[in-house]
Amino acid sequence: MPFAPINGIHLYYEVQGKGPPLVFAHGSGGNHLSWWQQIPFFSRHYKCITFDHRSFGLSQDNRESEGRRAFADDLKGLLDHLGIDQVAIVGHSMGVRTGVGFTMRNPGRVKGLVLSGSNGGAVNEETYIARGQRQESTQPLAEGSLRALSPGFVTEHPEMAFLYRQIMQLNPSHPRDFLAAPPVYRGSTHERLVAAGAPILYILGEEDALALHRGIEIAASLIPQARLVRVPNAGHSVYFEQPERFNQEVFDFLTEVYPPE
């Protein structure tokens, strides 16, 4: 199995297909296996790189873990290890932080950025107001609910919901605050993303119970080179629930900004 010595750890990765390099960065409920419905499609056109973030899947962390703060630098180390300069990135939820962090720190290396189920840290005062309003009105989900999938999908496709759980359970457990931002942090990424210049595609499932819908709408409006696609009848993990729609939206975007050879 391929592991790369990156920043004091051994990072697990896989490479499939030929063409311009395309990275897939998974969310906190997944690992490199999450993209099983994307890689067969995109590997016909791109060199697809999947990996396990540190402390996910097969990638272990070290005792002095930097956790999520190291994600973007880990991706840089992996791409440098593979001899890849320019790339497009598809990130979901937690993986959006990796893609955004890498893009801001390495301007010019990212040709296109797909941000699924997250605002990518692009916020304004309206975002904080909308976030506060949602916290006041949010009802707790039933015990055992899969927050990353829409209730209708879980009911209609129990076998897929089972698979989602099985992939998720391959990850080690993490503290509840593993992905929490510093409590006093109120910065925004949008100015640095604008300066980086990479075209951005936001993808939002209209039944997403995790992401703040208004927050993603605001993020897309703050970045001139960004666009937003809403997917009906899909929850947080559009890539998993509606892979054909997800793949086509991403492919159409990449064909425009980062075309296959």
Please, what are the averages of pLDDT over each run of 10 residues along the chain (261 residues)?
92 98 97 98 98 95 77 97 98 97 96 98 93 70 72 96 96 79 74 96 97 96 98 97 98 97 82
pTM for this model (two decimals): 0.94
Residues 35, 91 contacting (CB under 8 angstroms) = no
State how far the alpha carbon of 121 is from the alpha carbons of 96, 138, 193, 219, 220, in Å: 9, 21, 10, 8, 11
Give SS3 for 87.
strand
pLDDT of residue 168: 96
Q: Which amino acid is at 152?
A: G
- What gap in Å lies between CA 130 and CA 237, rounded to an integer? 22
Name the residue range of residue 132's domain: 3-179+186-257
Residue 187 dihedral angles phi and psi, to the nearest 5°: -80, 175
For the domain that residue 48 is a member of, what is the CATH number? 3.40.50.1820
Residue 221 has a CB neighbour count (10 Å cut-off) of 14
pLDDT of residue 143: 47
pLDDT of residue 137: 58
Residues 6+ apart with CB under 8 A from 15: 2, 47, 48, 49, 82
- The DSSP secondary-structure symbol of 106 reads S
Residues 216, 202 contacting (CB under 8 angstroms) = yes
- What gap in Å lies between CA 2 and CA 17, rounded to an integer? 16
pLDDT of residue 146: 85
Query: Domain count of the chain?
Result: 1
- What gap in Å lies between CA 128 and CA 185, rounded to an integer? 12
